[in-house]
């Protein structure tokens, strides 16, 4: 499981896990600190923010060439580019150092780190638990911009990436040039752009205004694909292997770096070879 759907809203499990870990840590640290007449929260928040900073820096360093091409992207954390191992190691190391140096807040700090760690372990267990057979590409028929019907299941045969988007969605618009470049750079992968709920004329106007040429643009007038795949949020990107099995689902905006990370992992999982 990689997301939770509540009505029309979708929430990423990793994002919820991170938020839950922070909340659990601060709650436990505050309660234990009050019981001992000390305030551990400033130190705890320093550890949390420092860990997030290191996690971001480690991810940026891993894809430095892509971030240097657009330096403002380094501080745009909406792409979700963080190195979880770097952040966890930093939090544990910093927490242990402060616990050693400051005896008065040792128990509140260690309790907070333990609480956050338990939430992270729970989130990892939910995300990594095998779910049986991968969900197949939905047996839906969408329309091309020329009106011809296209069966999504017929796309299987090589790895497929399906992006659910709409022209009114700001993060969809921001990530579109990145996906377009990926479509040009990775012919070994079929990229499909499934517009949700708009007309062919609206899509054409958007593409003309943005001067962006996309292949495999399909129209999902009833937004059925999002419903069938449990992807109520836009943008959502679905990664399928050559057999049509779902490998990964990404909620939210992709930058060049986070897409490169996903494609690296995706190729490892599907056996697709970069051309």
Q: What angle do CA 210, 193, 243 make, to 5 degrees?
A: 155
Using one digit for the tens of pLDDT, what is the confidence trace for 107-123? 999 999 999 989 988 88
Show me where the domains of the chain are located. 3-128, 141-270
pLDDT for residue 241 is more than 70: yes
Residues 14 and 251 sit within 8 Å (Cβ to Cβ): no
User: Which of 51-55, 128-132, 161-165 shows the lowest mean pLDDT across its residues?
Assistant: 128-132
Of 227 and 217, which is predicted with more confidence?
217
Q: Which two tokens stand for residue 15?
A: 């994002």
User: Which of 3-12, 54-63, 229-238 shows the lowest mean pLDDT across its residues?
Assistant: 3-12
Residues 112 and 28 sit within 8 Å (Cβ to Cβ): yes
Residues 175 and 253 sit within 8 Å (Cβ to Cβ): yes
- Mean pLDDT (whole number) for 159-187: 94
Count CA atoms closer than 13 A to 9's CA, side-chain side.
3
State the CB neighbour count (10 A cutoff) for residue 49.
11
pLDDT for residue 230 is more than 90: no
Residues 194 and 226 sit within 8 Å (Cβ to Cβ): no
Average pLDDT, the chain: 89
Q: How does residue 271 score in pLDDT terms, banded at 50, 70 and 90?
A: low
What is the C-alpha to C-alpha distance for residues 42 and 48, in angstroms, rounded to an integer?
Answer: 10
Query: CATH second-level architecture of 141-270?
Result: 3-Layer(aba) Sandwich (3.40)
Environment class of residue 268 by beta-carbon count within 10 Å: exposed (0-12), middle (13-18) or buried (19+)? exposed
Closest CA to 91 of 110, 104, 107: 110
Q: How does residue 229 score in pLDDT terms, banded at 50, 70 and 90?
A: confident
């Amino acid at each position: 499981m990689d997301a939770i759907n509540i009505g029309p809203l979708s929430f990423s499990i990793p994002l919820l896990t991170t938020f839950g870990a922070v909340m659990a840590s601060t709650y436990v640290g505050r309660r234990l600190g009050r019981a001992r007449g000390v305030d551990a929260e400033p130190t705890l928040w320093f550890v949390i923010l420092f860990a997030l900073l290191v996690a971001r820096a480690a991810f940026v360093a891993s894809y430095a060439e892509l971030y240097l091409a657009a330096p403002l992207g380094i501080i745009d954390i909406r792409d979700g580019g963080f190195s979880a191992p770097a952040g966890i190691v930093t939090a544990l190391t910093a927490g242990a150092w402060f616990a050693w140096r400051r005896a008065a807040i040792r128990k509140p700090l260690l309790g907070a780190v333990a609480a956050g760690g338990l939430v992270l372990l729970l989130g990892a267990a939910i995300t990594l638990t095998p779910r049986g057979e991968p969900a197949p590409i939905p047996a839906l028929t969408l329309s091309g911009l020329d009106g011809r019907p296209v069966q999504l299941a017929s796309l299987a045969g090589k790895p497929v990436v399906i992006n659910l988007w709409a022209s009114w969605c700001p993060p969809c618009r921001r990530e579109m040039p990145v996906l377009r470049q990926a479509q040009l750079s990775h012919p070994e992968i079929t990229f499909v752009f499934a517009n949700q709920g708009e007309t062919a004329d609206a899509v054409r106007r958007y593409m003309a205004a943005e001067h962006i040429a996309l292949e495999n643009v399909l129209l999902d007038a009833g937004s059925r694909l999002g419903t069938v795949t449990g992807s109520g949020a836009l943008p959502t990107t679905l990664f399928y292997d050559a057999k049509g099995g779902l490998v990964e689902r990404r909620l939210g905006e992709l930058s060049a770096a986070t897409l490169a990370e996903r494609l690296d992992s995706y190729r490892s999982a599907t056996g697709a070879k970069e051309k």
